[in-house]
C-alpha cells in the first residue's frame, strides 16, 4: 500500500475519481488510424497473432467471478453484434462445478483484475485441457492468469487497492469493447458503427469526468437511504450488468442488501416486493431498450414504488411523468459504452452509503481483494 490516497479519504474514493485517467491509460496506443484508407482501428498487440483463430471460433465463452464477470456481461451484446459469434457467460466456479462443456473450437476469455482468483484459475486449467484457445484480460502483468493463457490484453488501470473493484471494472469493459472492435474489424458492413464507437471511446474519459460531478447528489441520496434494509436495481440490455454491479457494490461495502434485477423478469416475481417503502433504482438511459424501461417505470409507479431513475440528460421530466421519482441525469454515450458511465453514480452511492453507515470502505468485513482459495 505504498500508493498514497492523496487528497482522498479512502482508496475506493480515489479509484472512483481517477477513472478518467485510468480509462485514458487503458486506451493509450490502442486506437489508431491504420490501413490504406486511414480509418480508425483498434490495435491490441497481445492478440494480433490470434485474431484469425478467434474469428474462426464457434463460440466465445467469458469466464470470471464477481465484478469481472459483470464487466464481461456488460460487453457481451457488443461482442455478439460485432463478431457475429455466439457469446456465452460462465461464472468460473459454476463452470467447474458442472464440468460444463468447453470445446477445441471455443475461445475462452478469462477476465480477472488480480489474475490470481482460484476459481478462475481452475476454470482456466480446465479450458486448456479441453483444447480451447484461452485469452486473459487482467490488470496484473505476470499474474498466473496472464501467464497461463495463450494470449491476452492487460487493462493497465493501475494498482487497485480498495477491495471493491471500481476503476478495474470500467477499464475491463473498455478492453472488451476494443476486443469486439478488433474481432469485427474486417466486416465492412459495421465499419460506421465501429468508427462511432471508437470516437465514443476517445471521448469517454471526458464524459466520465462529467458524471463524477454527481458526487454531491449521490451523497445526498445516500443520506436518504442510510437506514434502509434493501435496495433493488433494475436494468436490461447493456445495463443489466450495471444493475448487478451496482447492487454488488452496495452489498459488499455498504453492507446493505441489494439485488440487481433484469427488468424483463420483473413480472415473474420481483413485482411482488414493490410497495411505497422499498427503494428501487431503475436504469433507463436512452438505447434500444428505453421504451421498455419507460413501461417498467409506469408499472412501478402504478404500484406506488419508491423510485430513483437514472436517465439520459434532458429526460428527467419524461421519466417522472407517470409519478414522482428522484431522477439522476447522466451524459449519453454510445449504447455499448453507457455501462461505463452508468456505474459511476452507483459506485459513488455505495461509497457514501458506506461512510455514512460507518463501515470500513476499503476492507469490508469477510471479503478479500483476491480470493486465492476455493
Q: How many CB atoms lie within 10 A of CB 217?
A: 15
Cβ 331 to ligand G6P shortest distance, Å: 26
CB neighbour list of residue 224: distance below 8 Å, 6 or more residues apart? none
Binding span for ligand G6P by CB under 6 A among 27-35, 112-120, 210-218, 350-358: 112-120
Binding mask 68-87 for ligand G6P (x = CB under 6 A): x-------------------
114 contacts ligand G6P (rule: CB under 6 A):
yes
Cβ 66 to ligand G6P shortest distance, Å: 3
Q: How far is CA 179 from CA 44, 51, 156, 184, in A?
A: 8, 9, 15, 9
Q: Is 314 left (phi over 0), alpha (psi -120 to 50) or beta?
A: left
107 contacts ligand G6P (rule: CB under 6 A):
no
Contact between 80 and 127 (Cβ < 8 Å): no
Binding span for ligand G6P by CB under 6 A among 110-118, 173-181, 306-314, 336-344: 110-118
Cell numbers that stand for 127 in this block = 479450458
Cβ 96 to ligand G6P shortest distance, Å: 14
Considering only residues 120 to 159 of the shown chain, the ones binding ligand G6P according to CB under 6 A are: 120
Binding span for ligand G6P by CB under 6 A among 16-24, 79-87, 163-171, 349-357: 163-171
Cβ 120 to ligand G6P shortest distance, Å: 5
Contact between 157 and 168 (Cβ < 8 Å): yes
Among 27, 163, 175, 225, binds ligand G6P (CB under 6 A): 163
| Nearest partner of 344 among 212, 163, 224, judged by Cα | 212
For residue 104, the number of C-alpha atoms closer than 13 Å in the C-beta half-sphere is 0
367 contacts ligand G6P (rule: CB under 6 A):
yes
Contact between 22 and 171 (Cβ < 8 Å): yes
Burial 272-309 (b: 16+ CB within 10 A, else e): eebeeeebbbbbbbbbebbeebbebbebbbeeebbbbb
Cβ 68 to ligand G6P shortest distance, Å: 4
Binding span for ligand G6P by CB under 6 A among 50-58, 63-71, 188-196, 271-279: 63-71
Query: Could you give the dihedral angle defined by the CA atoms of residues 358, 246, 44 and 193, in that order, rounded to the nearest 10 degrees?
Result: -150
Residue nearer to ligand G6P on the CB measure, 122 or 327: 122
DSSP state of 45: G
347 contacts ligand G6P (rule: CB under 6 A):
no
Cβ 140 to ligand G6P shortest distance, Å: 8
Query: Could you give the dihedral angle defined by the CA atoms of residues 314, 317, 320 and 324, in that order, rounded to the nearest 10 degrees?
Result: 120
Residue nearer to ligand G6P on the CB measure, 119 or 287: 119
Q: How many residues does the chain have?
A: 374
- Number of residues interacting with ligand G6P: please give it, by CB under 6 A: 16
CA distance 185 to 42: 8
Cβ 55 to ligand G6P shortest distance, Å: 26
Cβ 269 to ligand G6P shortest distance, Å: 26
CA distance 336 to 287: 9
Among 57, 67, 294, 338, binds ligand G6P (CB under 6 A): 67
CB neighbour list of residue 291: distance below 8 Å, 6 or more residues apart? none
Residue nearer to ligand G6P on the CB measure, 145 or 336: 145
22 contacts ligand G6P (rule: CB under 6 A):
no
Q: Where on the chain is the footprint of ligand G6P (CB under 6 A)? A: 65-68, 112-114, 117, 120, 163-165, 367, 369-371
Amino acid at each position: 500500500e505504498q500508493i498514497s490516497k492523496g487528497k482522498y479519504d479512502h482508496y475506493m474514493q480515489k479509484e472512483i475519481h481517477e477513472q478518467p485517467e485510468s480509462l485514458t491509460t487503458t486506451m493509450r496506443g490502442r486506437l489508431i488510424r491504420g490501413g490504406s484508407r486511414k480509418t480508425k482501428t483498434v490495435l491490441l498487440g497481445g492478440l494480433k497473432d490470434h485474431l484469425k483463430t478467434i474469428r474462426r471460433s464457434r463460440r466465445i465463452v467469458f469466464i470470471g467471478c464477481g465484478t469481472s464477470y459483470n464487466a464481461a456481461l456488460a460487453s457481451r451484446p457488443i461482442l455478439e453484434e460485432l463478431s457475429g459469434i455466439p457469446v456465452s457467460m460462465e461464472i468460473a466456479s459454476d463452470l467447474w462445478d458442472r464440468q460444463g462443456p468447453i470445446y477445441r473450437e471455443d475461445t475462452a476469455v478469462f477476465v480477472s483484475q488480480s489474475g490470481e482468483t482460484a476459481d478462475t484459475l481452475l476454470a482456466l486449467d480446465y479450458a486448456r485441457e479441453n483444447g480451447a484457445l484461452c485469452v486473459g484480460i487482467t490488470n496484473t502483468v505476470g499474474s498466473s492468469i496472464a501467464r497461463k493463457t495463450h494470449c491476452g490484453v492487460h487493462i493497465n488501470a493501475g494498482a487497485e487497492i480498495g477491495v471493491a473493484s471500481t476503476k478495474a471494472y470500467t477499464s475491463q469493459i473498455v478492453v472488451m469493447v476494443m476486443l469486439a472492435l478488433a474481432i469485427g474489424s474486417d466486416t465492412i458492413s459495421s465499419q460506421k458503427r465501429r468508427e462511432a464507437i471508437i470516437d465514443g471511446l476517445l471521448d469517454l474519459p471526458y464524459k466520465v469526468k462529467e458524471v463524477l460531478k454527481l458526487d454531491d447528489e449521490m451523497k445526498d441520496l445516500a443520506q436518504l437511504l442510510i437506514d434502509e434494509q434493501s435496495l433493488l436495481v433494475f436494468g436490461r440490455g447493456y445495463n443489466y450488468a450495471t444493475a448487478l454491479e451496482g447492487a454488488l457494490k452496495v452489498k459488499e461495502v455498504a453492507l446493505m442488501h441489494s439485488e440487481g434485477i433484469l427488468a424483463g423478469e420483473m413480472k415473474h416475481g420481483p413485482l411482488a416486493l414493490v410497495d411505497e417503502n422499498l427503494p428501487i433504482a431503475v436504469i433507463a438511459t436512452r438505447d434500444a431498450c428505453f421504451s421498455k424501461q419507460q413501461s417498467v417505470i409506469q408499472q412501478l409507479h402504478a404500484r406506488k414504488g419508491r423510485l430513483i431513475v437514472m436517465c439520459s440528460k434532458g429526460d428527467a421530466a419524461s421519466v417522472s411523468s407517470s409519478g414522482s421519482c428522484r431522477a439522476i441525469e447522466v451524459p449519453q454515450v454510445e449504447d455499448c459504452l453507457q455501462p461505463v458511465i452508468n456505474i459511476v453514480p452507483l459506485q459513488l452511492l455505495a461509497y457514501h452509503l458506506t461512510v455514512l453507515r460507518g463501515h470500513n470502505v476499503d476492507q469490508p468485513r469477510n471479503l478479500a481483494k483476491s480470493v486465492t482459495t476455493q
